[in-house]
Amino acid sequence: MGLLTGRVAIVTGASKGIGRVISQVFAREGARVACAARSADLLKEAVADIERDGGQAIAVASDVSREEDARRLVAETIEQFGSLDCLINNAGDSGPTAPVQDYPLDDWHYTINSCLTSTYLCARFSVPAMIAAGRGAIVNIASMAGRRGLPYRVGYCAAKAGQIGMTAGLAVELGKHNITVNAIAPGAVAGDRIDRVIASQADVRGASVEQLRKAFVARAPLGRMTTPEDIARLAAFLCSDHARNISGQCIPVNAGEPS
C-alpha cells in the first residue's frame, strides 16, 4: 500500500520539472493522477512514463490561468476517475528578470496569472468535489522568493507571496470541511529553470554565471540545491493521512537556507 492508494490527484505544470516528478511520485504512491499543462506532447510523454511504471494517469492539456480550462480540468478528472482528493498547484512561469522600472506591465500580468490566478482557479473548481467527499488536500508550490524576496523578480516574488497568503486563508476557510491546505517553499531547485534564473541574474548583475551559481548554493547550510524529488516526497506526505492535522503551513525545502 502506498501513501496515496485510492486517491485521485490533479497536478498542474506536470509536463516537466517539479510537476512531472510530483506526478510520478504520486502515481508510485498509488494515486491516480490527472496531469495538466499547456504542452500536449510533453504531457503525453509524462503519462506514458507513469504508465510504463504501472501507474494510472491521464493528460489534460490546459492553461489553468484561464477559467474555462481550469473548470474543464477538474470536470475531466472527475469524469475519468470518479472523485478528486488532492490538488497540487504547481503551474507557473518565473517571469522576466529586470529592474522594477523596466519590468513590463504585460509580463507582470502574465506572471501573476500563471502563478497566482491559476492557483485560485484550480482551488475554486476543485473544492466543491472535496467538500462533497468530506476530505481533501491542497498543496501550493510556492517559493522562498515569496518569503525573503529576490532582486529583479518583482512579479514572481509577488505571485509566490500571494500563494502563501492564499494558503493561509484557504486553510482557515476549508478546515471545517476536513480539507487541508499547505504550501511548499522550495529554495534553488536543480534543473533547467534555475539554470535560466542564474543566467539572467548574472546578466543583470554583471556577474559570471559560475559566481552566481556558487552564491545560490552558498546560502544553504547543507551546501547543495534541492531536487524535484525532495519537493515531490513532501507533497505526497502532505496529501496523505499522516499529515491530516497539518494545515495552513508554508514549509521551506531549501537545504537549510535561512528564511
Residues acting as catalytic residues: 156
- Distance in angstroms (rounded) separating the CA atoms of residues 20 and 107: 25
Largest CA distance in the chain: 54
Kindly state the cell numbers that stand for 69.
480550462
DSSP 8-state assignment for residue 102 = G
- Please give the Cα distance from 155 to 198 (Å, whole number): 17
Question: Taking Cα atoms as reference points, which of 62, 58, 64 lies closest to residue 77?
Answer: 58
Return d(Cα 226, Cα 213) in angstroms, integer: 13
Beta strands in the chain (DSSP E): 8-12, 32-37, 56-61, 86-89, 136-141, 179-186, 250-253
**In the block, residue with C-alpha cell 504512491:** 29
